[in-house]
């Protein structure tokens, strides 16, 4: 399974480099093309585990001005 993230940055928010580092700290890898980052799950997970993980991502980026779009696929 993979979770992709697209990020829109606010000019009034954190620098892109800071958000980039926070995403790497969460285990995301940079991606080129349609998505900005990808998280590769080590196992199949259920919806509640995905939601819990994404809550953590949102908490980590709270106050950054970033707008996030998540897509998870098998």
CATH code assigned at 32:
3.30.70
pLDDT of 62 reads 97
Range of the domain at 16: 2-73
pLDDT of 38 reads 98
What is the Cα–Cα distance from 64 to 44, expressed in whole angstroms? Answer: 30
pLDDT of 25 reads 97
pLDDT of 69 reads 98
Domain count, the chain: 1
pLDDT in tens, 14-70: 999 999 999 999 999 999 999 999 999 999 999 999 999 999 999 999 999 999 999
């Amino acid at each position: 399974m993979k979770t992709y993230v697209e990020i829109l940055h606010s000019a009034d928010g954190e620098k892109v480099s800071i958000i980039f580092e926070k995403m790497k700290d969460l285990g995301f890898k940079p991606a080129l093309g349609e998505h900005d980052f990808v998280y590769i799950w080590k196992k199949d997970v259920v919806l509640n585990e995905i939601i819990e993980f994404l809550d953590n991502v949102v908490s980590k980026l709270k106050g950054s001005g970033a707008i996030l779009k998540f897509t998870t696929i098998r």
